[in-house]
C-alpha cells in the first residue's frame, strides 16, 4: 500500500478505505475541494484504478508512488 499512499500524498488526496481482500484495497479518494472518486488498488501489480465505466483511469505506480507507463501490448502485427 506504500506506493498508493505516496501517490495520494503527492496529489493531496485523503484515502477512505471501504474494504480489503485478495491483495486489493478499495474505497474513496477525497480531494482538497471535497470531490470524491472511487478507487481500487491492486497491491501485487501496483495498479491504481480510479473511477468507473467510461471515466475510469488506470495508473501503474512505482515504489515511490510516481506514475509509470502501462505495459500495453503492441498492435504491430
Residue 74 has pLDDT above 70, yes or no: no
Q: What percent of the chain has pLDDT over 70?
A: 92
Give the global pTM: 0.84
Residue 77 has pLDDT above 50, yes or no: no
Give residue for cell 470531490.
Answer: 35
Average confidence (pLDDT) over 12-28: 96
Cell of 26: 478499495
Paired residues of 42 in beta bridges = 24, 47
Phi, psi of 52 (to 5 degrees): -135, 160
Amino acid at each position: 500500500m506504500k506506493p498508493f499512499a505516496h501517490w495520494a500524498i503527492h496529489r493531496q488526496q485523503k484515502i477512505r478505505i471501504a474494504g480489503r481482500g485478495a491483495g486489493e484495497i478499495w474505497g474513496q479518494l477525497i480531494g482538497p475541494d471535497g470531490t470524491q472518486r472511487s478507487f481500487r488498488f491492486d497491491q501485487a501489480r501496483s495498479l491504481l484504478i480510479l473511477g468507473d465505466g467510461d471515466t475510469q483511469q488506470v495508473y501503474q505506480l512505482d515504489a515511490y508512488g510516481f506514475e509509470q507507463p502501462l505495459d500495453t501490448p503492441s498492435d504491430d502485427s
